Amino acid sequence: MPVTEFSVNTHAGAYDLSASARLIGRDLLVAIWGGEKPHIGAVAVAQPRPSLKNPEITSASASVICIIGHKEDELAKATAEVLAATLNTRVVVTAGIHWDNIAAEGIRSVIRNSEILVEMILDRLAPVFARLP
């Protein structure tokens, strides 16, 4: 399998985020960072599974480790679950985002930008996974 590795960035102008993605075999490793002090604040591991409501739909389950005092756990978990379910593969996501004194609207912008990153990653990887055996 050829190595697939790339980076994407949002360009909203405020609270922009960056991500790098790398296929490791059929598994996916994603790092998300942004702000004044990028770091690793949380790690999520997700794996696809049949939906509990409809076994014909792929869903995902995730486990998260969050560094004490950090709040990236929900972002890492949601990102890992969406990628795992959509691509039907195991996913690890690290997230570390920090802006000093960020207001509620800034947090909403970060969430929107993280959703944009997920769309960008899926746009790049969906064709790759469609060709995998």
Query: Residue holding tokens 């969906």?
Result: 126
CATH code given to domain 5-131: 3.30.230
pLDDT at residue number 1: 53
Q: What DSSP assignment string belongs to 71-110?
A: --HHHHHHHHHHHHHHHTS-EEEEEEEE-TT--HHHHHHH
74-101: pLDDT as tens digits:
999 999 999 999 999 999 999 999 999 9
E strands, 4-57, are 5-9, 17-24, 27-35, 42-50
pTM reported for the whole predicted model: 0.94
Q: Is the per-residue pLDDT at 19 higher than 80? A: yes
Phi/psi of residue 106, each to 5°? -65, -40
Sign of CA dihedral 127, 129, 130, 132: positive
Q: Which residue has the tokens 């899926």?
A: 122
Gap between the terminal Cα atoms of the chain: 10
Which pLDDT value is given to residue 2?
58
Tell me how far apart the alpha carbons of residues 40 and 91 are, in angstroms, rounded to a whole number. 16
- CA atoms within 13 A of residue 22's CA, in its CB half-sphere: 7
Q: Indicate the pLDDT class of residue 3, thresholds 50, 70 and 90.
A: low
Dihedral over Cα of 40, 42, 43, 44: its sign = negative
Model confidence pLDDT, tens digit, residues 31-89:
999 999 999 999 999 999 999 999 999 999 999 999 999 999 999 999 999 999 999 99
